[in-house]
Copies of this chain bind each other. A is one copy, B any other.
């Protein structure tokens, strides 16, 4: 009944199956909504293989999900780079980054949720390295450019980047968690929040306003 219809990979090409497993997991995840509803058995069947074969490529289910997360971050980074391509003004670059970030989250809510909100992935360093070397680095670079041009002011570059990131993540997470919220057009809402946050950094705060 559930016989594997897949032909055995030729000698050196075990990696091929690994990628197919990740892809199938992402697809099932998009349909199921949460990782716990994607069973290793279902993934195995989707790629035409028996369950234990999954464990030849991933230590356990969490490791499989971690691989999915890394793939999702790679995809997110690609889209952010594509969105900011040709945009030279630092503030406009930041806007492009932020909007494409939120759009990605809304387009792939289950993937974004797994990647940024799932507690499964606590002490996984790979992921943080991934983040630091990709999307985050680009964001931080754009902030640094804007600071250098005097378009943004703040205590230090990194702080501004974190704050912008928090704003973008807040919008994404809120819209994913409560899609029925009457915010009007989600992307317009995102734009307002991002611009408000950036606007708050185009001048020094009045004395006694922000916590010191």
Q: What residues make up the interface of A, taking CB atoms closer than 8 Å to B?
A: 33-34, 36, 110, 113, 116-120, 122, 128, 158-159, 162-163, 165-171, 173-174, 177-178, 180-184, 188-189, 191-193, 195-197, 199-201, 205, 209-211
- Assess whether B188 is in contact with A211, with CB atoms less than 8 Å apart: yes
The copy count of this chain in the complex is 2
Q: Which residue of B lies closest to A115 (CB)?
A: B177
Give the chain B neighbours of A183 by CB distance below 8 A: 159, 162
- Assess whether B211 is in contact with A178, with CB atoms less than 8 Å apart: no
Bound together, the chains give a CA A122 to CA B209 distance in angstroms of 38
Give the chain B neighbours of A188 by CB distance below 8 A: 211
- Assess whether A33 is in contact with B119, with CB atoms less than 8 Å apart: yes
Known contacts A162-B181, A191-B211, A199-B205; 15 further A-B pairs (Cβ under 8 A) = A33-B119, A34-B118, A36-B36, A117-B177, A162-B174, A162-B189, A166-B167, A166-B174, A166-B189, A170-B170, A170-B174, A193-B197, A195-B210, A196-B201, A199-B200
Give the chain B neighbours of A180 by CB distance below 8 A: 128
Give the chain B neighbours of A192 by CB distance below 8 A: 159, 163, 210-211
Give the chain B neighbours of A162 by CB distance below 8 A: 174, 181, 183, 189
10 residue pairs of the A-B complex, CB under 8 angstroms, read A113-B117, A159-B189, A163-B196, A168-B170, A169-B174, A170-B170, A170-B174, A192-B211, A195-B205, A200-B200
A196-B163, A210-B199 in contact; A110/B119 too (CB < 8 A)? yes
